Amino acid sequence: MDSLLHFFEQMPLWMRLLWVVGVLGVFWILEGYYALVKINYKKWKHAGVNFAFLFFTMLINVGFGVLTLGVFYWIETAQFGLLYLVDWPVWAELILALLALDFIAQYGVHYLLHKVKWMWRLHIIHHSDTKVDVTTGTRHHPLDFVIRETFALFAVLLMGMPIAFYLIYRILSVFFTYFTHANINLGKIDKYISYVFVTPNMHKFHHHWELPWTDTNFGNMFSFWDRIFGTFVYGDPKKVRYGLDLVDDSTDEDILYQLKIPFNKRIQTKG
């Protein structure tokens, strides 16, 4: 276990970037052979739009990376956090840290992004994609990403976790983000997986164009948060219409328009 943690602590940046590109690439290829629904679109053009948002978030991530290192240094120096109050096996502390991060930095913040009006306006960009595929997982307004990273840092502080735990979480989060958005058909196994983990079929309902479906299935890795808090739904994803009834579908690939959505008062949001 120590060697595994050491590996993630020393994991170079190029290897993390390779993981992002590799996971994206694998699901991109699988979409071509095992598509859940047939989408009539220019795949590369659509990807280019979503990758533009990825570029913005990666720039922000550089700044948060510096802040994150400072947080971990302070935690280790002050020995602050819940994990310093227990003496569990490393694997048990890792699982606890992953659960805390998934609940706070994924399910919890995602729920707020839908329920708090000003946060929802930032999150609209993610839901305005009318052609959901693996690249949709990269589509976030820069300020949306800032909120998510802030909640992740809060979870790190609360738990007092070592940096290796956080990096393992980031690696897993990348996988599940692209896996759940990918336009792939897992057949009947999808439903069985969804008892524990978020699956492509399950997440597609979250991208339905209208309420109440939009406000369901907030999880990223573990599906039991949605089951516990009554936000879980499951059905035939082929009946889902992507996009958002608040925004003109024709604007989904207009990057400048999308970036301005949070400040566009002509768009009437819920609540």
For residue range 98-144, list pLDDT tens digits in order.
999 999 999 999 999 999 999 999 999 999 999 999 999 999 999 99
CB count in 10 Å sphere of residue 97: 25
Q: Would residue 232 count as lying in a domain?
A: no
Q: Would residue 207 count as lying in a domain?
A: no
Q: Would residue 63 count as lying in a domain?
A: yes
Model pTM score: 0.93
Q: What is the pLDDT of residue 64?
A: 79
Query: 26-55: string of b/e by CB count within 10 Å (b at 16+)?
Result: ebbebbeeeebeeeeeeeeebbebbbebbe
Q: What is the pLDDT of residue 265?
A: 79
Contact 214, 222 (CB under 8 A): no
Q: What is the pLDDT of residue 211?
A: 81
Residues with pLDDT less than 50, the chain: 271
Range of the domain at 35: 2-187+248-263
pLDDT in tens, 167-196: 999 999 999 999 999 999 999 999 999 999
Sort residue 230 into left (φ over 0), alpha (ψ -120 to 50) or beta: left
Q: Would residue 229 count as lying in a domain?
A: no
Split into its structural domains, the chain has a count of 1
Q: Would residue 230 count as lying in a domain?
A: no
Q: What is the pLDDT of residue 271?
A: 46
Q: Would residue 112 count as lying in a domain?
A: yes
129 Cβ partners below 8 Å, 6+ apart?
A: 50, 136, 139, 207, 242, 243, 252
Amino acid at 66: V
Q: Would residue 242 count as lying in a domain?
A: no
Q: What is the pLDDT of residue 270?
A: 58
Q: Would residue 221 count as lying in a domain?
A: no
